[in-house]
Structures are given as structure tokens and as C-alpha cells.
Amino acid sequence: MSTLLSTRPLDTVADFPAIPSGWAYLDTAATAQKPQPVIDAITRAYAQDYATVHRGVYQRSASMTYAFEAARERVARFIGAGAADEIVFVRGATEAINLVAHSWGQRLQAGDRILISALEHHSNIVPWQMLRDRTGIEIDVAPLTDDHRIDLDALEALLTPRTKLVSIAHVSNVLGSIADIARVASAAHAVGAMLLVDGCQAAPRLAVDVAALGCDFYTFSGHKLYGPTGIGVLWARADILAGMPPWQGGGAMIETVSFERTTYAPPPARFEAGTPHIVGALGLAAAIDYVESIGLDRIARHEDALAHAARDMLRSFNSIRLFGPDNSAGIVSFAMDGVHPHDIGTILDEAGIAIRAGHHCAQPLMERLGVAATARASFGIYNIDEDVARLAGGIEKVVRIFG
């Protein structure tokens, strides 16, 4: 099995105080544990440096404003954005997609179409359905290939001049399959459509360059990237953001307010009404520093190796059905004949192994796979070979209990 080629040791678990010895945390796709540098950055921000941003004229506020905007610049560099003002801070990818649906989506009208895929998270389905119900747009769904990837040939065949937006996951949160975003961008743009990419599962393990990908919107959540909850990112090109109206009103997003009329601030402030999650942005910047100190290419190789080992181990049980392609970006979903995934999760928990069991906020995908739910093991930078061995022992216990 490959090792994490870095100045750090393979076993980075020492950086994660919430992972006790003997506990295999295999639910990183749901939320990642937090390394000490991120915890320290959050603690320092609240305990020593805290003040509001953009408003105070005193030194502490000015310093915190500088740190907050430096975090925005850090995010921009992380994903290859053209400028910091292309970065909008939101609560997470769910809010980012809703922002696009409510703001950019105002230009759509009955008869326009949005194209998504069969493997999308509910957060990339429901906002478009809500927009459909408001405007009369139509939604097309690209199917999957036999090895559970987005069928790009079928996706391209569904594109028409009426397609205004394609919105797909960079990496599936259930299957771990990686989409060819550059190909999708080229096909979407050929018919005049724009492309939104849900990067929640990609940003923690793949080097993201939005310019090279060719997408128009990119979103991700901080808590899956070893950062805090309640902070996320919407990226869009400056010209796109400039043409979008605000979707929430309040402080910070205005230029002037009177009882007669209000004028709005330019992006990104236009989309950040109210006091922002200041410390969350600082924690996200610290998380980016942490993963880049290890190297995203090294993280990807390490997680891929663990996922391959897990898939090989699970194949040794003839009662187990695996989902997704073999190169499944650190995510392994499976089902066991005659055993509900919740029972698998409970028994594994008793053995000190944490996995996810359920529909993973992807009920249409479960229907496509022919199951009500799956068990999912997902790996992070703190996982080691022994965690796969623990998982194997836990599955053997499930088999003994259920025969």
C-alpha cells in the first residue's frame, strides 16, 4: 500500500485530537475531523484577536478585517481564482447552490432547461426543483454508466440551446466517481449553457483550478476540507457575479439605504448580508494551509490506496455488493445481502469503527442503484492501513452475527 509522500509521517492522526487511539474514523465524506492547527487558529481568533470586520475604526477591528480578507485571498489562490473578489463566503455548498438558484436563476423563464446528473446530492437537486416550481423551467437528468460514472455521452446528447445551466458534482459523495469537468464545460458552453460544479468531495483531495476546469461556478464546504462548519465558498467569474442581484438583504451588502431606495455593494459584499462567519473564514484558511503543507496529490494517492485496499478486502465477502468505480476518490459504498446498512453501522460502531449508513442525501441515486441505502467508508489524511484491517474485522463480525 502506498504511503503519504511528505515531510509529515504517514500517521497524521497525532494532529487530530478528536481521534482517540483505536478508533477508526471512516466518515470523512460526511465531515472531516479537525487538525490542531485549525483548532489553534479558531481558538486564537476567539480568545485573543476577535472583533467585527469592515465596520470598526479601532485597531483590533482593522486587524481582523485584514485577516478576514486575507482568508478570502487564500481561498482564491487555493482554487486558481482570478481575484479575491470572485470568492463569496457562504455557510456551505448548500447555501452556495441556493444563492445561484435564487439570484442567477432569476433570469430563467418557462421553457429553459437545467441539466443535472443521476448521482447528485439533494443540495444539487432540490434548489433547482424549487426554481422550476417558481419559473416553469425544466430539469433534465443525465444517466450513469454501468460502472456508476456520469454518462458524458448521454449528457452531451441532452444538451440543447434551451439548456441554460449544467450543475454536477465533481466527485460523487456516494460513489467517489470523478467527473471530467473540462469536457462537460466545453460541451455546455458549446450550446451557450453555463456550468456549476459541486466541489465538496473534490476540494479536500484534488487540486482544483477553476480556470483550467472551465466552469462558471464552483462551490465547496469548509468542514469537509478539515475546516470548521458554517463556512463555505461560492466562486464565480467577476463578470458573472456583477450581473447577479442580491438574494438576502441587510447590513454589509449595501452602499446606501433610504426609505425610498437602496443601492447595493459590488460583489462579493453584495452576497454577504449581515455579520459574516469571521472565525470560520480564518479556520478555513488554516485548513487550506494544512492540506497544502501535505500536498493534495499526496493526499489523493494516500486515500486512493486505502480505498483500493478496502474494495479488495470487501470483495472477499461474496455477500457484499460494491458500488462505484475502482478509482473511487477515497470513498467506498457497499451493501450486504440480508443486512440493513444501519445494522452494519451499529455493529461496526461497537467495534470502534465509524462509517456512514443511509441514503447519503442522494435518494434518487439509491433508486438507480436498486437499494434503499448503502454503507459507506470514506477515508481522510488521518487514516492508516490498520483502519482497513479494523474494517475487515468489523465486517467479519457482521457476517458472524447475521450468518
Largest Cα–Cα separation, the chain: 73
pLDDT for residue 1 is more than 90: no
* C-alpha radius of gyration, the chain, whole number: 22
Q: Tens digits of per-residue pLDDT, 296-311? A: 999 999 999 999 999 9
Residue with cell 487511539: 21
**Residue 4: what pLDDT?**
38
Select which of 361, 371, 392, 399 is catalytic: 361
List the grid coordinates of 136.
416553469
The domains found in the chain, sorted by start residue, are 12-33+295-402 (3.90.1150.10), 39-292 (3.40.640.10)
pLDDT for residue 3 is more than 60: no
Q: Please give the mean pLDDT across all residues of the chain.
A: 95
Q: Tens digits of per-residue pLDDT, 335-388? A: 999 999 999 999 999 999 999 999 999 999 999 999 999 999 999 999 999 999
From the CB of residue 12, how many other CB atoms can be counted at a distance below 10 Å? 21
Task: Tell me the Ramachandran region of residue 131: left when phi exceeds 0, alpha when psi lies from -120 to 50, beta otherwise.
Answer: alpha
Q: How far is CA 81 from CA 91, 218, 246, in A?
A: 19, 10, 21
Q: Which has the closest alpha carbon to 359: 349, 347, 370, 348? A: 370
CA–CA dist 137, 156 (Å, integer)? 19
Q: Which residue has the higher pLDDT, 149 or 5?
A: 149
Region 218-244: what's the mean pLDDT?
98
pLDDT for residue 163 is more than 60: yes
List the grid coordinates of 182.
473540462
Q: Tens digits of per-residue pLDDT, 31-72? A: 999 999 999 999 999 999 999 999 888 999 999 999 999 999
Kindly provide the b/e burial profile for residues 65-85, where b requires at least 16 CB atoms within 10 angstroms of the residue's own CB: bebbbebbebbbebbebeebb
CA–CA dist 198, 29 (Å, integer)? 14
Confidence of residue 12 (pLDDT cuts 50, 70, 90): confident
With contact defined as beta carbons under 8 Å apart, do 26 and 353 qualify?
yes
CA–CA dist 13, 182 (Å, integer)? 35
Confidence of residue 11 (pLDDT cuts 50, 70, 90): low
Q: Tens digits of per-residue pLDDT, 167-185? A: 999 999 999 999 999 999 9
With contact defined as beta carbons under 8 Å apart, do 36 and 45 qualify?
no
% pLDDT > 70, the chain: 97
**Residue 7: what pLDDT?**
37
- Surface-to-core class of residue 135, CB atoms within 10 Å of its CB (0-12 exposed, 13-18 middle, 19+ buried): middle
**Which residues lie closer than 8 Å to 232 by C-beta, 6 or more apart?**
89, 90, 91, 92, 93, 94, 95, 96, 219, 220, 221, 222
Q: Does residue 361 have an active-site annotation?
A: yes
